[in-house]
A and B are shown apart, each in its own frame.
Chain A
Amino acid sequence: MAVSDEDVRHVAALARLGLEPDRVSQLATELNGILSHMDVLAAVDTSAIDLHERGDGQGMPLRDDGEAQLPLAHGRETFAPASRDGFFLVPRLATHEDASEDA
């Protein structure tokens, strides 16, 4: 599967990477080079592997609902790029809708 320039742009957008246009082609070439080494995987017979089957069967450890809150050694204002009245501030979204949509 060859990665096109358009693929790179699409994927960069998904990852919010903001690529300079002149890097796109070069990245497509690099990705194609790397992925060509992965073609060997397609030929491998993995039909006997069931990823849903877990070897150790240990399962997930759970946490008690009554635990104490994890403390912060220094307040949010020490690392927040922009904050006010306790809120983190970011540039306003292009759309004001509250639906969970990509920004």
Chain B
Amino acid sequence: MNDEALQLPAATLARRVGAGDRSSLATTDAAFARSQAVGAGPDGLNIFLGHDREWSRAEAEAIDARVVRGESVGPLAGVPVAVKDNLATVHLPTTCGSRILEGYRSPFEATAVRRLREAGAVVVGKTNMDEFAMGSSTESSAYGPTRNPRAPDRVPGGSSGGSAAAVAAGIVPIALGSETGGSVRQPAAFCGITGIKPTYGRVSRYGLVAYGSSLDHVGVMGRTVDDAALGLQVIAGYDGRDATCLDVPVPDYRSAASSSMAGVVIGRPREYFPASLDPRVREACDAALDALRAAGAEVRDVSLPHTALAIPAYYIVAPAEASSNLARFDGARYGLRLSGEGLRGMYESTRSRGFGAEVTRRILLGTYVLSAGYYDAYYRKAMEVRRLITNDFAAVFGAGVHALVTPTTPTPAFRLGEVSDPYEMYLSDVFTVTANLAGVPAMSVPAGFVDALPIGVQVIAPHFGEHAMLGVAYALERALGVGGAR
């Protein structure tokens, strides 16, 4: 039956669609059926903010028609994908999980989305997210939280919670998310799937609605390491529309599936294994390291001494940039417009009602740390500390370490509504934000379960070291099983 199509590796599915052995249309229908079956709607898991079944079917039919005509259709032919709602799409709205962009239809498409579609993928929906990507649980979405498909009373993580849930629920094998402080890896860990944050500048940010520009990345989630690697393969590469996108050749990422671990040096940074770490999380991570040893890798104790400064530095830099990036949402040219007294009233009414509490808090914080008298003490200081963190990674990788392995999160998914203190919520990013600050690639691979909830192990590599990173991830998946289910 076609539902099994959704269980196939994406590469296999695409090959079969391209060969005419499977119909893209039927696969798309299967995705929508699955979505219905798992209760992805607003009353259930609340995964999608936007979808248009007729449009997706038309996209799928076009793929099938090209196959019939003998035209090449690309490495993602017929693969259903989900796209986080902060990536601009032309047909479906782009709301960023916010009221201020309710119903907004972008007149241009994000580069990452365009590349997926040019590779033959069929977008089946835009996924729920923390408002403007500010959050770690998808609870700050203006459209209600998404529930973790593995445990519906729990958060799926955030901010890319909807995309993680779409993959974890078996609706799509590949989904696009975004990361500023861990928002792909953390939900991937909470939902038991793979999530990749590439090197900063590896994937174009054109069309990704900016939150913290120097920290934002388009990321990929996949049911398996191979699915995520394929997604990355398609979207990576230079784009002249993004001045921070670097012109570096894209290797064949999926070939890392056959990388040997013999001679690979894995670093175990002690700061990511604090005494306070849940022993079960530590155990799962150390089991992953054991598996790598068994495969021939050497595991070395290393130190990234400035790790504890990462959250404070992040929560100055990201809100500062956000306060500037979100100034454009003023009711003047697009999105929500509310009225008040005159022009200023329009600005204030629109922004006070259009933005939720977390976004408001971060804009205030960001404006404050940039404001006169505080810039040097806060923003400039945080950027300098950021450089120290970057240097930590450079030092370790420069000393012969090929990749680092750490827990992705300190805990498994928490309950909806459980974490209410903002700073406590921020701390769930403690192991992930360092890679955003330094720009190094990092990914989460399922590593097992704690209290029957998925947890992930994180692999971090040097800049543009995705191939090495994936080599370790493929090896871990071989040892630990897809979804960490050995």
- Indicate if B270 sits at the interface (CB-CB under 8 A): no
Mark each residue of chain A from 10 to 34: 1 if its CB lies under 8 Å from any CB of chain B, else 0: 0110111111100000010011011
Nearest Cβ distance between residue A48 and chain B, in whole angstroms? Answer: 9
Pairwise interchain contact B107-A41, C-beta atoms closer than 8 A: no
Pairwise interchain contact B344-A16, C-beta atoms closer than 8 A: yes
For B90, what are the chain A residues with a Cβ–Cβ distance below 8 Å? Answer: 73-74
Pairwise interchain contact A17-B105, C-beta atoms closer than 8 A: no
Q: Which of B109, B316, B364 contacts A8 (CB 8 A)?
A: B364
Task: Tell me how many residues of A have a C-beta within 8 Å of chain B.
Answer: 52
Interface contacts (Cβ under 8 Å), in number, total 159
Within residues 47 to 103 of chain A, which ones have a CB less than 8 A from any CB in chain B? 49, 51, 55, 58, 60-61, 63, 70-76, 78-82, 88, 90-94, 103
For B486, what are the chain A residues with a Cβ–Cβ distance below 8 Å? Answer: none
Pairwise interchain contact B105-A90, C-beta atoms closer than 8 A: no
Task: Tell me how many residues of B have a C-beta within 8 Å of chain A.
Answer: 65
Pairwise interchain contact A18-B371, C-beta atoms closer than 8 A: no
- A3 — nearest CB in chain B belongs to which residue? B368
Pairwise interchain contact A79-B107, C-beta atoms closer than 8 A: yes
Known contacts A63-B240, A73-B90, A78-B105; A11/B343 CB under 8 A: no
Pairwise interchain contact A81-B331, C-beta atoms closer than 8 A: yes
Q: Which of B334, B336, B360, B422 contacts A34 (CB 8 A)?
A: B422
- Indicate if A7 sits at the interface (CB-CB under 8 A): yes
Pairwise interchain contact A42-B377, C-beta atoms closer than 8 A: yes
* Bound Cα distance A75, B105 (Å): 11
Pairwise interchain contact B109-A58, C-beta atoms closer than 8 A: no
For B108, what are the chain A residues with a Cβ–Cβ distance below 8 Å? Answer: 70-73
* Bound Cα distance A40, B361 (Å): 21
* Bound Cα distance A6, B372 (Å): 15
- Indicate if B347 sits at the interface (CB-CB under 8 A): yes
- Given pairs A17-B360, A31-B368, A92-B343, 6 additional interface contacts (CB within 8 A): A1-B374, A11-B367, A17-B348, A61-B240, A70-B108, A91-B345
